[in-house]
Structure 1
């Protein structure tokens, strides 16, 4: 796979440097989906720390998309994290990330599941990982940026792929999560950006793998109607953002008092055990 020789497409930008680039990203738009207040707070308080979940996600991405780099950047420690041996091991591997044996087994399970799954393997056979794209939105003049997990070509057409770990890779559940988490906005944004940079409109697929055994894999193509909806929504979000910037107001989700509404399924839940959904049943 050879990337187009186009300014704005770069596979050699470290993630920490990518975060410093100017431009509106899919991650920022997802914050704006929640509310302008959430967007502004995230912008003023950039998250530079790493959580255990984020660290595991990074390890999984590296193992699946850049296996050679994974071997160089990660080591296993399965002992007690106390005492001289641990301190010596940590010092000797100061420039590498340390996984426990169970964490490594989990990452390896996801890697094997997706790479040995025929519908996914065809995309991962040849390609380039972590490709940064930067462009100017022709409709708004706003700088945009994105980081594509994997770029390849299938039957002569460019395919942009995004790797997602998930609790449930079934079509119904993954589709619901995709809408809630703005995956359709991300896919539309990246496809539009690629088109503005190269003149070619790519396909976009999600490579999904469950994060627990048996690590069920799945591949989801993003059809035209989903991309169209994503485009419409991110343009609407850009309009909201411009209004907030022009007026310097960053409202929360709701500005007025609201009635409490219950989900539809709650009407039929009289005899159901609700102890596992996080409600305080003693209040």
Structure 2
């Protein structure tokens, strides 16, 4: 799908943004740094969101777009499903009351028979009750909702984080063409800090296990957040003509849901830039040659060593 390189920043639904599959985002560049084969698998067979990813998405919505969060999410209430049919035993009991002879029917067949015979709508199936009650909303457990409210409060009480989020735009989508490789690129910053009508910074909200500086720096290195920071900064420069600072708001998933705010250093940005530029060059080569190798492109046999930390012990002890 072709993107007009002059469109700049757009407000669009997440599914529309992700629908531009031939346009490269930072997540796919992180994959190609592992290997082109992993990149190809990621873009052709996108992974299903994990529970941790779904929770992170809910946190982003609650923190950055609270009105949308209120309309898109609901707390699951088991008590509202009392009496609904769920188990095979429930189905059999309902069938008996309706005078249905189930014989060797399978569960789905019993369900269909109940629906056909229940002309007075005496019985409700659990999945139908959930669909009616929540009407397409994302469902959270009470524990998850409590955690999200605590995260909202933690960020609100952190002066630096709350200042960054006090005025701006959430989830804008940017598209540009990389001048060196002619690869079309995209980014979707969590938050763009605004002063009057001017964008003054880029913010990314990360849920994490440990928001302390040392631990979060390790997360940055492990998950390629440095690549993301540089890619977003350069993307926004292509769109606005200005180099904008990149900030992380890190908030812990578990209580007390501590929050920390960090600005990506110039050194971090340079490291991330070298990574994403190399990733784009590799992607250009793979596309031009229609080759997507894994770890050993030529099928070579390598000698493997223990990592330094594992070999650092005293043989005489």
TM-score range, shorter chain: 0.7 to 0.9
1-structure distance, mates of 2:206, 2:223: 11
Residue 79 of structure 1 corresponds to 78
Q: Residues 183 and 284 of structure 2 are in contact (CA less than 8 Å); yes or no, is this contact kept in structure 1?
A: no
Give, in whole Å, the separation in 2 of the partners of 1:115 and 1:57. 17
Deviation of 1:120 after TM superposition, in Å, equals: 0.5
1:147-162 aligned at under 5 Å gives the runs: 147-153=188-194, 158-162=200-204
Q: Describe the superposition over 1:161-185 as per-residue Cα deviations: whole angstroms up to 9, x where unpaired.
A: 0010111111112111111211111
Do the aligned residues in 1 keep the contact of 2:211 with 2:258 (CA within 8 Å)?
Answer: yes
Give the match's secondary structure for 2:293.
coil
Work out which of the residue numbers 214, 235, 251 in structure 2 matches 1:193: 235
Q: CA deviation at 1:135?
A: 0.6
Match of 2:9 in 1: 9
Residue of structure 2 aligned with 1:117, choices 148, 155, 158? 158
Q: Distance in 2 between matches of 1:106 and 1:56?
A: 10
State the secondary structure of the residue aligned to 2:170: strand
CA drift of 1:154 comes to: 5.9
Equivalenced residue count is 263
Q: Is the 8 A contact 2:167 2:195 kept in 1?
A: no
Distance in 2 (CA, whole Å) between partners of 1:180 and 1:51 is 18
Partner of 1:203: 245
Q: 1:166 aligns with which of 179, 194, 208?
A: 208
Deviation at 1:264, TM superposition (A): 3.8
Distance 1:269 1:59 in 2: 45
Three-state SS of the structure 2 residue aligned to 1:19 is helix
Residues 189-220 of structure 1, C-alpha deviation per residue, up to 9 Å, x if partnerless?
11111111111111100110011111111111
CA displacement 1:35-73 (0-9 Å, x = unmatched):
1110111122133x4332222111111011111111111
Q: Which residue of 2 aligns with 1:51?
A: 50
Gaps of 5+ in 1: 1-5, 271-283
Determine the C-alpha separation between the residues in 2 that align with 1:83 and 1:146. Answer: 47
Q: Residue 185 of structure 1 contacts residue 227 of structure 1 at CA under 8 Å; is this kept in 2?
A: yes
Partners of 2:232 and 2:178 lie apart in 1 by 11
Unpaired runs of 5+ residues, structure 2, are 1-5, 85-123
Partner SS state of residue 228, structure 2:
helix
TM-score (norm 2): 0.77
Offset of residue 88 of structure 1: 2.7
Instruction: Please point out which of 240, 262, 271 is paired with 2:306.
Output: 262
Q: Which residue of 2 aligns with 1:67?
A: 66
